[in-house]
Amino acid sequence: SRTVTMVEKYFDGVVPEALDKDDVDDELISIANNLPKVVESYMDKLQFSNALAEIWKLVGRANKYIDETMPWMLAKDESKKGRLKTVLYNLVESLRFVAILITPFMPNTPIKIYEQLGISDDLKTWDSLKFGLLKPGTKVKRGENIFPRIDVEKEIKEAEKESPKKVEVKEETNYIKIDDFAKIDLRVAEVLEAEKVEGADKLLKLKLKVGDEVRQVVSGLALHYKVDELIGKKLVLVANLEPKKLRGIESYGMILAASNEGKLTVVTVDKDIESGAKVK
């Protein structure tokens, strides 16, 4: 909204040509140009929240760019008009990138952005995500505020009127201090071998590679994983847990797992990392 307003105010609604470049432009342009492949990578992995987070980094960088360049101050100095043109061009082009990238998530919003920016059909495609393709001379036209500011206090009061009051029951939280947490030694451990513990339906005996060391750990995962499903996985191990015997078998550590309605899922690392690495 403020970008379109400034283009209208300073250049009669016509997107200017980028003439006077500066080092501060490079980071914004680099983020924009690298963003499509990063978003594609996350989308291919169905990690949609990560894809959105990356897109919002460009939004945040563009906002910071406005604060850094202060176009309203540039407009007061005729000798800096070339610099003002470049700043506003870069902002409009960044908005074009954002509109294309958010299309899978917010299909109606890009249409409104394109209308206000005057974007032609050939510059609305994924293939057009190359910074600098926006044509100077494009006519913008400010419309409705697509993302209006929310009056938080007003919204809360309205919600309280419409909703019955609820009594919140706060569960007691057993907090620990950071010093307590620092005592726990969490390590990445690779599963080398796994076998069921004879006579125990729930237990598996695992051999784990933890750096240069091989550990034996007994874990209650037998009802949740087949033996071969665990081989090669890189798990998170509580490495400094006091050794314990389970069914007469020594266990040196504990595997971390999340529980949901009785189903256990082991905690793994999402990138390749050496076993023995410390988890912080």
- pLDDT at position 245: 86
Nearest to 85 by CA among 22, 38, 177: 22
Q: Is 206 helix (H, G, I), strand (E, B) or coil?
A: strand
Does residue 131 contact residue 32 with C-beta atoms inside 8 Å? yes
Does residue 197 contact residue 204 with C-beta atoms inside 8 Å? yes
Using alpha carbons, list the distances in angstroms from residue 73 to 70, 84, 85, 92, 230: 6, 9, 13, 18, 61
Using alpha carbons, list the distances in angstroms from residue 259 to 232, 241, 255, 267: 22, 20, 13, 10
Query: pTM for the full model?
Result: 0.54
- pLDDT at position 181: 81
The rounded Cα 267 to chain-centroid distance in angstroms is 19
Nearest to 9 by CA among 84, 83, 98, 67: 84
- pLDDT at position 170: 52
Residue entry with tokens 């109606």: 108
User: All domains of the chain, ordered by start, with CATH?
Assistant: 2-146 (1.10.730.10), 178-279 (2.40.50.140)
Contacts of 228 by beta carbon, 8 Å cutoff, 6+ apart: 194
- pLDDT at position 172: 55
DSSP 60-129: HHHHHHHHHH-HHHHTT-GGGHHHHHHHHHHHHHHHHHHHHHTTTT-TTHHHHHHHHHT--GGGSSGGG-
- pLDDT at position 156: 61
Contacts of 217 by beta carbon, 8 Å cutoff, 6+ apart: 189, 205, 206, 208, 237, 251, 252, 253, 254, 255
pLDDT in tens, the chain (280 residues): 889 999 999 999 999 999 888 888 999 999 999 999 999 999 998 999 999 999 999 999 999 999 999 999 999 999 999 999 999 999 999 999 999 999 999 999 999 999 999 999 999 999 999 999 999 999 999 888 877 776 667 766 666 665 555 545 455 567 778 888 888 999 999 999 999 998 888 899 999 999 999 999 999 998 998 888 999 999 999 999 889 888 889 999 999 999 887 788 999 988 888 999 998 8
